[in-house]
Chains A and B, each alone.
Chain A
C-alpha cells in the first residue's frame, strides 16, 4: 500500500485490565517526494517504528539516515523501535546482520516481523507502547503537580493579601480613632 503523503488510524490498546491507551498511528509515505509532508507529522510523536524490508539489501548508512531524521525532527526523548518487515519472505541475511549489529550498538530494540503471518506485529507495537506509557505518566504527573503547586501558591498569596488588607484596615481604623 502506498501512501499519498500520509495516512492515520486510531486504535485502543489494552495495556492491562484497567489501563487503555488511545493510539494515533501515523503512516507516512516512504517516497522521497513526500518526505517533507512526513516530517510535519513528527510533531508530538511519542514513539516511532522505523521499518526496514528484510528481503532487500541494506547499509548502515540507510539506517543512520532515518535515525538522523528522527533525531533532527523529534529529538532523543522519543521512543524508537527498529522493525524488520517481511520476515516470511526470502530474507537477506546481511540485512539482518546489519540491523542486529546496529541495534545492539545503539541500544535500540530490533524486532523481525511478518505482516503476512502476523508474526511479532502485535509485539512490536506492544513493546513501543510499554516504553511510551511510563514517560506519558511521568509527564502528566509533572503537569498535575505543577498545576497543584500553582493553585497552592495562588491560595497562599490570596490569604497573604487578605491578611495584609485586614492589618492595614485595623491600622487605618486606629489612625482614624486617634483623630
Chain B
C-alpha cells in the first residue's frame, strides 16, 4: 500500500484560500451582500443589518469627489 504523505492529509485544508468574485448589474446589491456577509462572520448574532447597509454608501461618488478636490 502506498504511504500518503502527511502533507496530503486533510489538516492542511485549515487555511485553504479561495477567490470569490461577485458580478451583476449596477445597483443589484452586490456590495450590500458582501458587507452583510462580512458582518455576519464577525457578529453572528446580529439581527438587524440596516445600520450596516446605511454605512455602505456610494463609493464611486466618494472616489470621484476625493480625486476632483
Q: Which of A's residues lie within 8 Å of B, judged by CB? A: 1-4, 7, 9, 11-13, 15, 18-32, 38, 41-42, 44-53, 62, 66, 69-70, 83, 85-86, 113, 115-118, 121-122, 124-125, 128-129, 132-133, 136-137, 140-141, 144-145, 148
Interface size class of B (residues with CB under 8 A): 35 or more
Q: Is the CB of A2 within 8 A of B15?
A: no
Cβ distance A112 to chain B, nearest Cβ, rounded Å: 12
Would B33 and A2 count as touching, CB distance under 8 A? Answer: no
| CB-based contact B28/A85 at 8 Å | yes
Check B23 against A70 for contact (C-beta < 8 Å): yes
A-B contact list, 29 entries, CB within 8 Å: A1-B35, A4-B63, A15-B13, A21-B16, A22-B15, A25-B21, A26-B19, A27-B31, A27-B34, A45-B21, A46-B18, A47-B18, A47-B19, A48-B22, A49-B23, A49-B30, A52-B24, A52-B25, A53-B25, A53-B28, A62-B25, A85-B30, A116-B49, A118-B46, A122-B37, A124-B33, A129-B18, A129-B20, A140-B16
Among candidates A11, A48, A52, residue contacting B21 with C-beta atoms closer than 8 Å = A48
Contact indicator A2/B60 (Cβ below 8 Å): yes
Please pick, from B33, B41, B61, the residue contacting A49 in the complex, using a CB distance under 8 A: B33
Q: Which residues of A contact B60 (CB under 8 A)?
A: 2-4, 29
Residue numbers in A under 8 Å from B24 (CB-CB): 30, 49-53, 66, 83, 85
B31: which of A3, A128, A141 is its contact (CB, 8 Å)? A3
Residue interface mask B37-57, A partner, CB < 8 A = 1: 110110000110110010011
B18, A116: Cβ atoms closer than 8 Å:
no
